[in-house]
Amino acid sequence: MPSPRIRDGGSAVERLINWMGGWPRDSLLTGTEWEESLYRAITSAREGRLPPETAAEVEETRVRLGRRLCERALGAPDGLAVVAITSGADEALLRLLFAFTAPGDTVLTDRLAARPALQLFRRMAVRTVVVPGDESGMDPEALLPALTREKPAFVYASPVCPDPTGRRWDEERRRALAHLCAWAGVPLVRDDRQLALSGAPVSFEAERDAGAEVYSVGQVPPGLYPGLRLGWIASLAPEAPRRFEGPDAGIAPRRLRAAVHGAALRWLDDPRSHGHWEAFRKRCRNRLRLFLQFLETAGLAGCGWIEPDGGMHVWIRLPEGLEGEAMLRAAWRKGLLFQPGSGFFAARPERNAIRVTPVHTPEAQIAEGVRRLRETAAELTGRWSGG
């Protein structure tokens, strides 16, 4: 599909504003020695110039890399340890699905959940059952009978900085979730892929106090380190069974994976990496704040949104009758992309919602993106006045 052409000052220029999320073309550290170090490591591995590592060396790298990721991404919450390194949060969740489920098994989830997770559940032929709740989290009075009735393989939830809303559960709901999972003997799988960008301190105190079997999936935020797709499975039980390792893909992929892990560990060992994480968190916060300010002043009548506690995304509900898919088709012609909201519903999808990810857009272009969003909706509905 060709890029749309946007009129700017009388000349046709290509200037697409991509708010779909995913992995951006440019990252915070593009063009740095990190990028050169990763390139050298990958090239050496592909050309067979790296010696094979012993099992003990691979394990030592995994443990040290996991420790650094907990420190940088999660603030080293007490008792949490990385038990598997993956290529991202999606692979981490996929490994947990392989470990805990068989086709036809049930997973309990919120009605609103990360789109990639819902796609994985369908791909693995796992049945999702929605636990009623609200912005404060799952309703404990609904979760209790669901645990008894459904006997799920696990409960999937994202209580801190969830995708798409970014709205943190209240503490009472989090504790109830942990206690009920512990009581039922059902694992709790937390999707914490945005936890590194949370606007509040990270804690697993509720889960630890309840004695729940909890697994947290996360990843290095897209847009921080170019070329690095790194995720993990963390657990409150560091002695968790090593059944989450992926299948052996042969010598070349093993060497490539080891090279990437080694380069990532060397960079995370560098004290400067702490400043990189903080700079990226600040950039995301500032761009979300700027986007919300422009959204507030745009005069989008009939439109509402959830102000996130952190993360990368903003969840917007459109006026009744305006569907996210139709909005996207029209916005693309103006050079604006975002995610229609229907794919984030585990059941009974609502069509009049979209998810936007403005944190990878330069601040100077955010106002223009909001203008295109407003203009698109005005053309489709006539409800939003020009100006």
Query: What does the pLDDT look like over 259-317, one tens digit per residue?
Result: 899 899 999 998 888 899 999 999 999 999 999 999 999 988 788 999 999 999 999 99
Q: Which amino acid is at 176?
A: A
Q: Does domain 41-270 have CATH number 3.20.20.370?
A: no
Residue 133, SS3 per DSSP: strand
Cis preceding linkage at 201, omega within 30 = no
Residue 55 tokens read as: 């099992």
Per-residue pLDDT of 125-183, as tens digits, reads 999 999 999 988 999 999 999 999 999 999 999 999 999 999 999 999 999 999 999 99
> Does pLDDT of 20 surpass 60?
yes
Please report which confidence band the pLDDT of residue 242 belongs to, taking 50, 70 and 90 as the band edges.
low
Q: Which amino acid is at 361?
A: T
Which pLDDT does position 320 carry in this prediction?
A: 85
Q: Do residues 281 and 166 touch, judged by C-beta distance below 8 A? A: no
- Which has more pLDDT, 36 or 142? 142
Strand runs labelled E in 5-80: 6-8, 11-13, 17-19
Mean pLDDT for the stretch of residues 72-90 = 86
- Which has more pLDDT, 214 or 45? 214
> Does pLDDT of 3 surpass 60?
no
Q: Do residues 214 and 206 touch, judged by C-beta distance below 8 A? A: no
> Does pLDDT of 32 surpass 90?
no
State how far the alpha carbon of 146 is from the alpha carbons of 136, 180, 309, in Å.
18, 11, 28
Which pLDDT does position 248 carry in this prediction?
A: 54
Percent of residues, the chain, with pLDDT higher than 90: 61
Per-residue pLDDT of 95-137, as tens digits, reads 999 999 999 999 999 999 999 999 999 999 999 999 999 988 9
> Does pLDDT of 54 surpass 80?
no
| Residues constituting the chain | 387
Q: How far apart are CA 363 and CA 288, in angstroms?
A: 10
CA-based R_g, the chain, Å? 22
Q: How far apart are CA 162 and CA 79, in angstroms?
A: 22
Please report which confidence band the pLDDT of residue 58 belongs to, taking 50, 70 and 90 as the band edges.
confident
Residues of the chain with CATH 3.90.1150.10: 6-30+274-381
Which pLDDT does position 21 carry in this prediction?
A: 93
Q: Are strands 106-109 and 154-157 parallel, antiparallel or unpaired?
A: parallel
State how far the alpha carbon of 3 is from the alpha carbons of 12, 17, 99, 375, in Å.
12, 11, 42, 19
> Does pLDDT of 361 surpass 60?
yes
Q: Which amino acid is at 94?
A: L
Please report which confidence band the pLDDT of residue 12 belongs to, taking 50, 70 and 90 as the band edges.
very low
Which pLDDT does position 18 carry in this prediction?
A: 96
Which pLDDT does position 250 carry in this prediction?
A: 52
Please report which confidence band the pLDDT of residue 7 belongs to, taking 50, 70 and 90 as the band edges.
very low
Q: How far apart are CA 137 and CA 309, in angstroms?
A: 14
Mean pLDDT for the stretch of residues 179-198 = 95
Please report which confidence band the pLDDT of residue 202 belongs to, taking 50, 70 and 90 as the band edges.
confident
Which pLDDT does position 27 carry in this prediction?
A: 86
Q: 6-30+274-381 adopts what CATH topology? A: Aspartate Aminotransferase, domain 1 (3.90.1150)
Neighbouring-strand partners of residue 355:
315, 339
Calculate the average pLDDT of the chain.
Answer: 88
Which pLDDT does position 171 carry in this prediction?
A: 92
Neighbouring-strand partners of residue 233:
84, 217
Q: How far apart are CA 365 and CA 358, in angstroms?
A: 10
Residues of the chain with CATH 3.40.640.10: 41-270
Per-residue pLDDT of 247-261, as tens digits, reads 555 555 778 888 899
Residue 164 tokens read as: 């798409």
Helices 89-100 and 115-123: crossing angle in degrees, nearest 10, is 40
Per-residue pLDDT of 329-344, as tens digits, reads 999 999 999 999 999 9
Q: Do residues 222 and 24 touch, judged by C-beta distance below 8 A? A: yes
Which residue intervals of 226-322 are DSSP H helices? 251-269, 272-297
> Does pLDDT of 14 surpass 80?
no
Q: Which residue has the tokens 């060396």?
A: 57
Q: Do residues 254 and 54 touch, judged by C-beta distance below 8 A? A: no
